[in-house]
Structure 1
Amino acid sequence: KLAVNFHHTDLCNMRCEFCFRNEKFQTKLTTSDKLHLIYLLSKKFQKITFVGGEPLLDYDLKEMIIESKKLGMTTMLVTNGSLLKNSFLDDMIGHLDWIGLSVDALDSEINKKEGRFNQQIIPDLNFYLKLIKNIKERGYKLKINTVVHQHNKNCDFSSFLKEADPNRWKVFQVLRVEGINQQTISEYLVSKQDFADFISKHQQFKPIYEKDDDMLDSYFMVNAEGRFFSNSNNQHTTSSEILRNGVDAALQELKVDISKFNQRGGIYNW
């Protein structure tokens, strides 16, 4: 079993300073391009995760999710939650399997400091708990993603996790990516010991965790231009266009370590 992350939009309504989304893409895929790309990916991958930017800013998202499910794939959306409306949740029942919520802090001041806010919303504990209630009431599986950095490394998520009770909690050590976030990342970097301490503090919740070097060469990712990309040596490398050359040929141009994919928990009970 293999899983792919489709970073189908670079647009975002927040500005997290350590984010590694790339704003430099000039070429944008059409709706039909995206749907054909998903068709090609479905021949190789059994699970697709829609990632951004903020995926809910892409008007094609619903259609892509529906098409992916028709093709037999397990479907997941990763979102900051700010645009996750009940109407969307209602419409996607039966098409979307998982919702991943990015939760780095439960304190609005920390979220504001890292750039996880916009003019309408500065997320806090109540914001996330309300979203989670709406998600779980509709039967979606819940995944929570947390990036550990200098400003949240001492935070205790225990009471939140007890109440949220996610199906899966993924914890990442903040990652430096040259050419993307190197100008802002220095104040967020944490040591391996800091990261280990955070994991140890929350061990009862069985976090699936990834140190910074675990993330290198261990993901199958497609960018908004329809190219595979990977984090190698802390910088992004990209393949040729999948729509032009096909999935297998494009994959051969990149290094993805299947053993690292497995070791970091890339395969689980979807």
Structure 2
Amino acid sequence: MSIQELVINFHMTETCNFRCEYCYATWDGNNSQQELHHSYSNIKELVTKTANYFLNDNPIKQKLGYKSVRLNFAGGEPVMLGSRFIKAVLLAKSLGLNTSLITNGHLLTNTMLSKVSPHLDMLGISFDTADHLLADSIGRVDRKKDWLSPQRLEEIVFHYRQSNPCGIVKINTVVNKYNWEETLTATITKIMPDKWKILRVLPVYSDSLCVTQQQYKHYITKHQSLSNIIVAEDNDDMWQSYLMLNPEGKFYQNSGPCEGIKQSPSILDVSITDALTHIEFNPDTFAKRYKSNIDFQEI
């Protein structure tokens, strides 16, 4: 087995300007004041330990044979951290890591894009719907009911590509009970991302927005004209297939449907080798998520 790149997701903060009902980026007992971004020295220690371990020989590298490592900044909404987020990205790049961002896009002003885009190997934007009412139902709006419109999404992608012509654009869409009948073909075709990941809502804490497998497949099938960029990720594809660090530097994994999560001690307190023994990570499942696209004949 061999993959090009290992991805480690650092959920830098639980704070977010949106309130998506299906969000799984919450951690029992997390205290926002204990999030590592409050101290640059803590962020420096976390990113440095991550780079030193995963860029060098280790059991996961022996298993997967990856050539590079990408630190993916996620949340919550990491852009809310402003200069703290930018400094962390620059640090990761200086240590030899590739970098990426998963964002709801709402706070990606042109000023922020100009500062961070040249240093992001990939920009991932969460976009579930082109309809404001549906976005409100899902929770993809802020307190003023502002949202990421299709027009603003196009502007962000254009600006990123202007600033970083070699950068990769990815759109993440979570199929849920509110949007599974919607068609996003027009919006996705306009921006034409390098990858469109279509995920089935994951019931980590609640199943209130879940869809059936038939509804999920229906959504994918209606977008088959974009099959060359679609990567489908059903619930079984997600379990034990992500390396994730929470805002306190703890590795975590989802336990099971509506069963919450398991966490390791912080990697600031123990070695990464020790921390990884507290979670279940399956390299084989991780590798399967990186196949290029979906075979519609299997649906």
Q: TM-score, normalised by structure 1?
A: 0.92
Name whichever of 251-260 and 123-132 sits farther off.
123-132
> Structure 1: which 5+ residue stretches go unaligned?
none
Which of the residues 46, 54, 76 maps onto 1:37?
A: 46
Which of the residues 82, 107, 112 maps onto 1:88?
A: 112
Deviations 1:138-167 (A, max 9, x none): 223211000000111011111111111101
Q: Distance in 2 between matches of 1:151 and 1:28?
A: 32
Q: Distance in 1 between matches of 2:97 and 2:225?
A: 31
Q: Distance in 2 between matches of 1:67 and 1:266?
A: 30
Q: Is the 8 A contact 1:4 1:221 kept in 2?
A: yes
Name whichever of 129-138 and 98-107 sits farther off.
129-138
Which of the residues 3, 14, 17 maps onto 2:18?
A: 14
Residue correspondence of structure 1 range 236-247 to structure 2 within 5 A? 236-247=261-272
- State the AA in 2 paired with 1:149: N
- State the AA in 1 paired with 2:201: V
Residue correspondence of structure 1 range 118-133 to structure 2 within 5 A? 118=142, 119=144, 121-133=146-158
Q: Distance in 2 between matches of 1:50 and 1:34?
A: 12
Q: Is the 8 A contact 1:3 1:266 kept in 2?
A: no
- The Cα RMSD (Å) is 1.8
Deviation at 1:49, TM superposition (A): 0.5
Deviations 1:217-252 (A, max 9, x none): 110000011100011223210011111111121112
Which of the residues 134, 159, 162 maps onto 2:189?
A: 162
Quote the residue 2:256 is aligned against.
233
Quote the residue 1:214 is aligned against.
237
Quote the residue 1:144 is aligned against.
171
Q: Distance in 1 between matches of 2:177 and 2:145?
A: 26
Name whichever of 118-127 and 143-152 sits farther off.
118-127
Quote the residue 2:79 is aligned against.
56
Is it true that 1:100 corresponds to 2:124 in the alignment? yes
Structure 1 runs of 4+ with >6 Å offset? none
Which of the residues 170, 173, 188 maps onto 2:200?
A: 173
Tell me how many residue pairs correspond in the alignment: 262
Q: Distance in 2 between matches of 1:35 and 1:41?
A: 10
Q: Is the 8 A contact 2:100 2:123 kept in 1?
A: yes
Question: What's the secondary structure of 2:107's corresponding residue?
Answer: coil
Q: Is the 8 A contact 1:223 1:229 kept in 2?
A: yes
Quote the residue 1:202 is aligned against.
223
Q: Is the 8 A contact 2:251 2:265 kept in 1?
A: yes
Which of the residues 131, 136, 141 maps onto 1:112?
A: 136
Deviations 1:175-194 (A, max 9, x none): 1113xxx2xx41x1101111
Which of the residues 174, 189, 209 maps onto 2:210?
A: 189
Q: Distance in 2 between matches of 1:204 and 1:251?
A: 40
Q: Distance in 1 between matches of 2:145 and 2:95?
A: 36
Deviation at 1:172, TM superposition (A): 0.6
Q: Is the 8 A contact 2:231 2:292 kept in 1?
A: no
Q: Is the 8 A contact 2:250 2:275 kept in 1?
A: yes
Name whichever of 85-94 and 249-258 sits farther off.
85-94
Deviation at 1:94, TM superposition (A): 3.4
Q: Is the 8 A contact 2:136 2:145 kept in 1?
A: no
Q: Distance in 2 between matches of 1:101 and 1:228?
A: 23
Q: Is the 8 A contact 2:241 2:285 kept in 1?
A: yes
Matched-pair identity in %: 31
Name whichever of 90-99 and 155-164 sits farther off.
90-99
Question: What's the secondary structure of 1:105's corresponding residue?
Answer: coil
Q: Is the 8 A contact 1:2 1:267 kept in 2?
A: no
Q: Is the 8 A contact 2:117 2:160 kept in 1?
A: no
Q: Distance in 2 between matches of 1:205 and 1:73?
A: 31
Q: Distance in 1 between matches of 2:35 and 2:14?
A: 10
Q: Is the 8 A contact 2:254 2:262 kept in 1?
A: yes
Quote the residue 2:277 is aligned against.
252
Q: Is the 8 A contact 2:124 2:169 kept in 1?
A: yes
Question: What's the secondary structure of 2:118's corresponding residue?
Answer: coil
Quote the residue 1:28 is aligned against.
35
Deviation at 1:213, TM superposition (A): 2.0
Quote the residue 2:58 is aligned against.
none
Q: TM-score, normalised by structure 2?
A: 0.83
Q: Per the alignment, do residues 253 and 267 of structure 1 end up closer, same or farther by CA in structure 2, a change over 3 Å counting?
A: farther
